[in-house]
Amino acid sequence: MIIGKIVGVKIKLNKWFVFLMLVYAMIDLLPQALIVFGVAFLHEMAHVFVAINEGYHVIEIEVMPFGGVAKIDNMLGCDVHSEFNIAIAGPLNNLALMGVGWLMQYCHVWNPDLTFFFIKVNLFMALFNFIPALPLDGGRIYRSLLARKIGFKKASEKAFGMSRFISVILMIGGSIGFYLGYVNALVIVIAIFLFGASNQEKQMTLYVIMKNYTKKKEDLLKKGIISGEQLVVLETTPVGEVINYALPQKYHTFVIMNHHWEIAGMITESQVVDILMEKGISITMKQILYQNKVKFLD
Ligand SMILES: [Zn+2]
pLDDT tens across 174-188, in order?
A: 899 888 888 777 778
Average pLDDT over residues 90-116: 91
| Sign of the CA dihedral running 47, 53, 57, 60 | positive
**How far, in Å, from the CA of 187 to the mean position of ligand 1?**
18
**How far, in Å, from the CA of 234 to the mean position of ligand 1?**
42
Taking CA atoms, 166 is separated from 132, 169, 215, 267, in Å, by 8, 5, 32, 41
pLDDT exceeds cutoff 80 at 170: yes
**How far, in Å, from the CA of 153 to the mean position of ligand 1?**
22
Residue 234 confidence (pLDDT): 93
Task: Note whether 197 and 170 are within 8 A (CB).
Answer: no
**How far, in Å, from the CA of 91 to the mean position of ligand 1?**
7
CATH topology of domain 227-297: CBS-domain (3.10.580)
**How far, in Å, from the CA of 41 to the mean position of ligand 1?**
10
Residue 294 confidence (pLDDT): 61
Residue 212 confidence (pLDDT): 74
pLDDT exceeds cutoff 50 at 298: no
The Cα–Cα gap between 161 and 199 comes to: 10
| DSSP assignment of 70-88 | EEESSPTTSSHHHHHHHHH
Where does the chain show beta strands of DSSP type E?
2-6, 9-13, 58-64, 67-72, 228-234, 251-257, 263-268
Q: Name which residue leads in pLDDT, 16 or 295.
A: 16
**How far, in Å, from the CA of 297 to the mean position of ligand 1?**
50
**How far, in Å, from the CA of 93 to the mean position of ligand 1?**
9
**How far, in Å, from the CA of 137 to the mean position of ligand 1?**
5
Confidence of residue 16 (pLDDT cuts 50, 70, 90): confident
pLDDT exceeds cutoff 90 at 75: no
Confidence of residue 120 (pLDDT cuts 50, 70, 90): very high
Average pLDDT over residues 42-62: 85
pLDDT exceeds cutoff 90 at 95: yes
Residue 206 confidence (pLDDT): 63
Residue 13's DSSP bridge partners are 63
**How far, in Å, from the CA of 68 to the mean position of ligand 1?**
8
**How far, in Å, from the CA of 183 to the mean position of ligand 1?**
24
Whole-number mean pLDDT of the chain?
82
220-273 pLDDT, tens digit per residue, is 889 999 888 899 999 998 887 787 677 777 888 999 999 999 998 898 888 887
**How far, in Å, from the CA of 94 to the mean position of ligand 1?**
10
**How far, in Å, from the CA of 61 to the mean position of ligand 1?**
12
The single-letter code of the amino acid at 80 is V
**How far, in Å, from the CA of 70 to the mean position of ligand 1?**
9
Q: Is 261 left (phi over 0), alpha (psi -120 to 50) or beta?
A: left
**How far, in Å, from the CA of 33 to the mean position of ligand 1?**
19
**How far, in Å, from the CA of 276 to the mean position of ligand 1?**
33
Average pLDDT over residues 165-171: 90
Residue 277 confidence (pLDDT): 67
Confidence of residue 51 (pLDDT cuts 50, 70, 90): confident
